[in-house]
Amino acid sequence: MEEKRENKRLAKEYAWVAFGWRGREWTCLLKLWTRESRFDHYAQNPASSAFGIAQLLGERSRKPELQILRGLRYIDKRYGEPCKAYRFALTHKHY
């Protein structure tokens, strides 16, 4: 439980410092990753190779810091912001 709390804290800090995402964007990221993994850096999807906090395909690292940074970069490159990724996930059941 404490690890998940720390993972949320790191995600919030990294989202703000690296991408300027806070407020509404943080809320969307929180909802997205809670839905995907509940911020568990060992979360596995039995139907695919998705792993970790952001449930990235092919993710191999067990380090929450790397998972968070990779997940944030993925959202930035593919969607531009967490709210767009979250809206896509609601419709398509993945992002």
Could you read off the pLDDT of 33-87 as tens digits, one per residue? 999 999 999 999 989 999 999 999 999 999 999 999 999 999 999 999 999 999 9
> Is the pLDDT at 1 greater than 90, yes or no?
no
Distant-in-sequence, close-in-space partners of 91: CB < 8 Å, separation ≥ 6: none
pLDDT at 88 over 80: yes
Quick check: 16 pLDDT over 80? Answer: yes
pTM summary value: 0.95
Contact 73, 87 (CB under 8 A): no
CA dist 94 → 23, 38, 40, 48, 65 (Å): 23, 15, 17, 11, 22
